[in-house]
Amino acid sequence: MSTGKKFKIASIGAGNVGASAAQYCLELELGDVVLTDILEGFPQGKALDLTEAGPIRGYSSQCTGTNDYADIEGADLCIVSAGLPRKPGMTRLDLLEKNGQIMTSICENIKKYAPESTVIVITNPLDVMVYLAYKKLEFPANRVIGMAGCLDSSRMRSFVAMELGVSMKNVDTMVLGSHGDDMVPLPHYTTVSGIPITKLMPQDRIDAIVERTRKGGGEIVQLLKTGSAFYAPAASAVRMAQSVIRDEKQVLPCAAHLTGQYGLNDIYMGVPCVLGKDGVEKIIELDITDAERAALHKSAEEVKSGIAGLQEVGIL
């Protein structure tokens, strides 16, 4: 991606996550946004609403809504949130098959209209869907990234700040692994202005924060009762997009394609990445304990099971 140009961002899926991602991109002036969805009038209405907020919120980037993938032509970056939530009576394999079909169709259109784009996937089950996108797009792995650890780390940062009564800006955390109950939060890489949290709170409170981080998405689902989180997932994807578009070289935990790092191969998992104009420019291997490595590999088994499920239904 070159600098000194107006970037074009496609937010694919105009639901709560996709529309929030569009809003954050516009407010950061990352570029013009094309909000894309299959529901007629839905992305157009949201895009018009976001455009009308521009004079008040102080952005001049344009937002357009469309049902036609041809309108994403030439996009520099695509944020993919389209997909179905798991409904009562739906098995995990059912969800995999439905979202696998949706992701396959999206990838065909990205490949056709935005072949040079960097793609950030939010659709669940995240690690499996980003692996499917990688296979279907046939893009270099560095340009296909999953939003996972960025959200999980943000949740952990929030919980640490709440526990200690400090600014969230002062808290740094790191969460590895799959985006689900088997994620691997790393307390010894969690600091407040450089001070390890092990020096600031007792072990039982650290354990409680780790557990709350793992169940972070479920906690919000239980509270909402009719939906799932969208502000923080969208903000996390846009944080990644910002680092790519502005070539910031931020170190962020993302679902990246592993080729032997952490003892894992040909799988997407949450790991610390340097994100810049070329997408994932480097994967950082942290020094982790044997127990953490074992937890990471257990996390990987869940992802492999999902990939096997896609193969079972003939999508991969």
pLDDT digits over 107-156, tens only?
A: 999 999 999 999 999 999 999 999 999 999 999 999 999 998 999 999 99
Architecture of domain 149-312: Alpha-Beta Complex (3.90)
Half-sphere CA count of 90, side-chain side, radius 13 A? 13
Q: Is residue 188 among the annotated active site residues?
A: no
Report the candidate in 87, 43, 83 with the shortest Cα–Cα distance to residue 221: 87
CATH annotation of 8-146: 3.40.50.720
Q: Which of 179, 188, 257, 297 is catalytic?
A: 179
Q: What is the pLDDT of residue 2?
A: 44
Closest CA to 167 of 192, 194, 197, 196: 192
The residue among 79, 84, 99, 100 whose CA lies nearest residue 36 is 79
The boundaries of every CATH 3.90.110.10 domain in the chain are 149-312
Give every residue of the chain whose pLDDT is below 70, as ranges: 1-4
Pair 66, 95: CB distance under 8 Å: no
Q: 203-214 vs 216-224: helix axis angle to the nearest 10?
A: 60
Domain with CATH 3.40.50.720 in the chain: 8-146
For the record, the structure tokens of 113 come out as 């209209």
Say what the pLDDT of residue 274 is. 98
Distances (CA, A) of 310 to 96, 304, 316: 7, 10, 6
